[in-house]
């Protein structure tokens, strides 16, 4: 095995297990040292057990560092020769611990995302930097600062217990979902969305007893399954193809099947409801086969849990599809989403469907006023032009 | 089991700094004040029972502060706190905790709205 393969296959696991023992800061530096030594020695003397070799060398390097830093010998971990390899269970626990550390709420949200991408998924610093649109040196500095805070503030490497667990798990899932949505959004980086799915799968494997881990994996898989149908380079404004216009034969049906299976054990939490909505779309053979009554009911439950105005807006769209535009508009009465173009845009669509074309034109203008995203502007301009054409063709 | 040497395992000292608007306290009636003192006493007892209490004091209002700056031209005194913010440091507890999570639990249990949790360097 060459060093590059050993990096891809073992780095994240080794880092997690070393971090549990020595702390993230020392672990990363020691592991870097071990890989540097591997580059020197392996071409001449390839090891029989690459992971074991790296682990032993990294642990020695970590102990050296701690001794040099003046940590009392009595407090150092034991270093026994021929020390037994941690079994898969131990490694899984270490990775889970590291995940909770990286997603600790005492760290700023972008920092949590950066740490998770670097240390849990093992993306190189330069890749994380590119995804954050900063230089590699800047990102390296941010990660160093974050590691220092973890050490100095005493953020532990442990999976929270009891009443803390649900809240902290929600925090971890939130980070994973943000990684995915940042890659999934129009103009986002597909590689990041793929990392989001990988992370969701990892959390699912590490915490199989938690229904929301199944729900989140199902949710991101259902959305990701549409990736090939969502982009069309020939279209204006980022090439975004909206759901009703997508070529459903280009959806990845195998992934949809797997996600539907996950939903059987996913409960009825926040992510489960969102996944069930995505599933309702994914299982409709054609756009007009969509079960909008079901989707409207799921959004109503989601609104109860989250109290979110954005969820109310989505619910209104579903209700409009199920029961007509007037019912949808009724749900939007009194709703406020300051600065968001989506609200006047949806009002414009539903008002136009009612045949009130002049009123719709005013709403399209209001939406365009607020819209900054290129693909959204392009879509709004098209819809407004269509509305104008209807008006001159003899509408109101 | 290998002993862990991550800092989270050993006891770390944390300063819990309580921030509040001085005015709110100045304008509080007698009953409110008594209630607040009772809450702090209970909090202090809880810390002491757990062996986590190192110390803590209430500070006089920020308006009574004097800030001293060493400049090349000599010491410059300013009447008032270092930073003029709506909320000012009003008191502190020095506690010992196994790690940040425990220190954050203490901060949440504190009868105060804003608490900054700072590890003591070491």
- B32-71 burial, b for 16+ CB within 10 Å, e for fewer? eeeeeeeebeebeeebeeeebbeebeebeebeeeeeeeee
**Collapsing DSSP states into helix, strand and coil, what is residue A108?**
coil
Residues of B in contact with A75 (CB under 8 A): 3, 5
d(CA A60, CA A54): 10
Q: By the 8 A CB rule, do A186 and A226 touch?
A: no
Q: By the 8 A CB rule, do A280 and A291 touch?
A: yes
- Residues 51-110 on B with a CB inside 8 Å of A are 97-101, 103-104
Q: Which helix (H) or strand (E) holds B77?
A: strand B74-79
Residue B2 lies in a domain: no
**Collapsing DSSP states into helix, strand and coil, what is residue A290?**
coil
Laid out side by side, the sheet with B88-97 consists of: B53-58, B88-97, B12-20, B114-119
On average, the pLDDT of chain B sits at 89
Residue B92 lies in a domain: yes
Matching residue, tokens 């898989």: A221
Contact A78 B2 (CB under 8 A): yes
Residues of B in contact with A160 (CB under 8 A): 101
Residue B17 lies in a domain: no
Q: By the 8 A CB rule, do A165 and B16 touch?
A: no
Q: By the 8 A CB rule, do A210 and A169 touch?
A: yes
Contact A20 B101 (CB under 8 A): no
Residues of B in contact with A153 (CB under 8 A): 100, 117, 119
Matching residue, tokens 């217990």: A161
Q: Which helix (H) or strand (E) holds B49?
A: helix B30-49
Contact A21 B100 (CB under 8 A): no
Matching residue, tokens 């029989």: A48
Strand partners, B12: B97
d(CA A344, CA A332): 10
Under DSSP, the state recorded for A78 is: P
Q: By the 8 A CB rule, do A206 and A12 touch?
A: no
In this prediction, residue B4 has a pLDDT band, given cuts at 50, 70 and 90, of: very low
- From A96's Cα to the closest Cα of chain B, the distance in A is 16
Residue B94 lies in a domain: yes
Residues of A in contact with B5 (CB under 8 A): 21-23, 66, 71, 75-77
Question: The domain spanning residue B40 has which CATH number?
Answer: 3.30.70.1060
Nearest CB to B5: which of A71, A152, A153? A71
Domain boundaries, chain A: 3-76, 285-330, 338-396
Strand partners, B76: B69
A104 contact B CB<8A: yes
Residue B34 lies in a domain: yes
Best mutation target among B4, B6, B99 (most A Cβ atoms within 10 Å) is B6
B8 contact A CB<8A: yes
Residues of A in contact with B103 (CB under 8 A): 154
Q: Is the ipTM of this complex over 0.85?
A: no
Would you state the pLDDT for residue A77? 67
Taking CA–CA distances from A17, the nearest residue in chain B reads: B4
A76 contact B CB<8A: yes
Sign of CA dihedral A62, A63, A67, A73: positive
d(CA B69, CA A47): 61
**Collapsing DSSP states into helix, strand and coil, what is residue A123?**
coil
Average pLDDT, 10 consecutive residues per value, chain A (396 residues): 88 92 91 95 92 94 88 65 53 87 93 94 90 90 94 89 89 94 84 93 93 97 93 64 89 96 94 97 92 97 94 97 96 92 95 95 95 86 94 75
Would you state the pLDDT for residue A76? 67
Phi, psi at B75, each rounded to 5°: -85, 135
Would you state the pLDDT for residue A362? 96
Q: By the 8 A CB rule, do A281 and A219 touch?
A: no
The structure's pTM equals 0.82
Would you state the pLDDT for residue B9? 46
Residues of B in contact with A66 (CB under 8 A): 5
Would you state the pLDDT for residue B6? 42
The size of the A-B interface in CB pairs under 8 A is 61
Across the range B10-25, mean pLDDT stands at 89
Matching residue, tokens 């195998």: A254
Contact B121 A152 (CB under 8 A): yes
A372 token code pair: 């900054």
Contact A77 B101 (CB under 8 A): no
A305 contact B CB<8A: no
Structural domain boundaries, residue B97:
27-119
Q: By the 8 A CB rule, do B62 and B89 touch?
A: yes
pLDDT tens-digit series, residues B22-68:
888 888 899 999 999 999 999 999 999 999 999 999 999 998 999 99
Nearest CB to A155: which of B2, B14, B99? B99
- Tell which phi-psi region holds residue A315, choosing left (phi > 0), alpha (psi between -120 and 50) or beta: alpha
Residue B20 lies in a domain: no
Phi, psi at A373, each rounded to 5°: -80, 135
- Residues 126-165 on A with a CB inside 8 Å of B are 151-158, 160, 164
Would you state the pLDDT for residue A75? 66
Would you state the pLDDT for residue A88? 53
Nearest CB to A106: which of B2, B6, B100? B100
Q: By the 8 A CB rule, do A179 and A113 touch?
A: yes
Contact B4 A106 (CB under 8 A): no
Residues of B in contact with A22 (CB under 8 A): 5-6
pLDDT tens-digit series, residues B72-94:
999 999 999 998 888 999 999 99
CA within 13 Å, CB half, A247: 6
- From A158's Cα to the closest Cα of chain B, the distance in A is 9
Matching residue, tokens 């199944």: A214
**Collapsing DSSP states into helix, strand and coil, what is residue A132?**
coil
A50 token code pair: 């690459």
Residues of B in contact with A104 (CB under 8 A): 100
Q: Which helix (H) or strand (E) holds B114?
A: strand B114-119
Under DSSP, the state recorded for A209 is: T
Residue B43 lies in a domain: yes
B15 contact A CB<8A: no
Alpha-carbon separation of residue A76 from A58, A79, A310 (angstroms): 14, 9, 52
d(CA A363, CA A123): 44
d(CA A23, CA A17): 10
Query: Nearest 5°: CA angle at A115, between A111 and A118?
Result: 140
A346 token code pair: 């949806």
> In sequence order, which ranges of chain A are alpha helices (DSSP H)?
3-22, 24-41, 50-68, 88-102, 109-115, 125-131, 136-153, 164-184, 190-206, 211-224, 227-230, 253-263, 270-282, 292-306, 309-323, 325-332, 342-353, 357-370, 374-392
Q: What total of structural domains would you count in chain B?
A: 1
């Amino acid at each position: 095995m060459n060093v590059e393969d050993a990096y891809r296959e073992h780095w994240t696991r080794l880092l997690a297990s070393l971090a549990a023992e020595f702390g993230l800061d020392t672990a990363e530096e020691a592991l870097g040292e071990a890989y540097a030594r591997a580059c020197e020695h392996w071409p001449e003397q390839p090891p029989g057990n690459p992971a074991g070799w790296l682990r032993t060398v990294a642990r020695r390097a970590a102990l050296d560092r701690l001794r040099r830093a003046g940590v009392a010998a009595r407090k150092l971990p034991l270093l026994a020769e021929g020390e037994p390899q941690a079994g898969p269970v131990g490694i899984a626990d270490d990775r889970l611990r590291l995940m909770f550390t990286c997603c600790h709420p005492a760290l700023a949200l972008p920092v949590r995302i950066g740490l998770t991408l670097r240390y849990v998924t093992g993306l190189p610093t330069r890749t994380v930097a590119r995804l954050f649109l900063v230089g590699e040196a800047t990102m390296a500095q941010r990660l160093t600062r974050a590691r220092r805070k973890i050490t100095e503030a005493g953020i532990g490497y442990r999976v929270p217990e009891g009443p803390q667990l649900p809240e902290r798990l929600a925090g971890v899932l939130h980070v994973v979902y943000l990684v995915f949505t940042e890659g999934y959004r129009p103009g986002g980086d597909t590689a990041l969305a793929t990392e989001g799915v990988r992370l969701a799968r990892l959390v699912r494997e590490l915490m199989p007893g938690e229904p929301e881990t199944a729900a989140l994996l199902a949710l991101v898989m259902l959305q990701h399954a549409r990736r090939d149908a969502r982009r069309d380079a020939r279209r204006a404004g980022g090439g975004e193809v909206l759901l009703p216009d997508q070529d459903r034969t280009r959806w990845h049906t195998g992934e949809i099947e797997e996600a539907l299976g996950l939903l059987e054990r996913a409960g009825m939490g926040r992510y489960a409801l969102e996944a069930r909505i995505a599933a309702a779309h994914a299982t409709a053979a054609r756009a007009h086969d969509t079960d909008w009554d079901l989707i409207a009911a799921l959004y109503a439950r989601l609104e109860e849990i989250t109290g979110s105005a954005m969820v109310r807006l989505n619910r209104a769209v579903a209700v409009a599809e199920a029961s007509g535009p007037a019912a949808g508009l009724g749900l939007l009465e009194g709703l406020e989403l300051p600065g968001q173009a989506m609200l006047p845009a949806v009002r414009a669509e539903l008002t136009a469907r009612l045949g009130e074309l002049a009123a719709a034109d005013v709403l399209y203008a209001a939406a365009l006023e607020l819209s900054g995203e290129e693909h959204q502007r392009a879509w709004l301009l098209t819809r407004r032009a269509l509305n104008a054409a209807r008006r001159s063709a003899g509408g109101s | 089991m290998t002993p862990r040497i991550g800092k989270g395992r050993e006891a770390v000292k944390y300063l819990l700094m309580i921030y509040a608007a001085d005015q709110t306290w100045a304008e509080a009636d007698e009953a409110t004040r008594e209630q607040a003192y009772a809450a702090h006493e209970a909090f202090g007892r809880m810390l002491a029972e757990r062996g986590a209490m190192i110390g803590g004091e209430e500070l006089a209002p920020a308006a009574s502060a004097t800030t001293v700056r060493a400049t090349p031209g000599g010491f410059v005194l300013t009447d008032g706190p270092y930073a003029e913010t709506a909320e000012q440091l009003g008191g502190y507890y020095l506690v010992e905790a196994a790690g940040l999570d425990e220190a954050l639990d203490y901060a949440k249990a504190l009868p105060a709205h804003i608490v900054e949790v700072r590890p003591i360097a070491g």
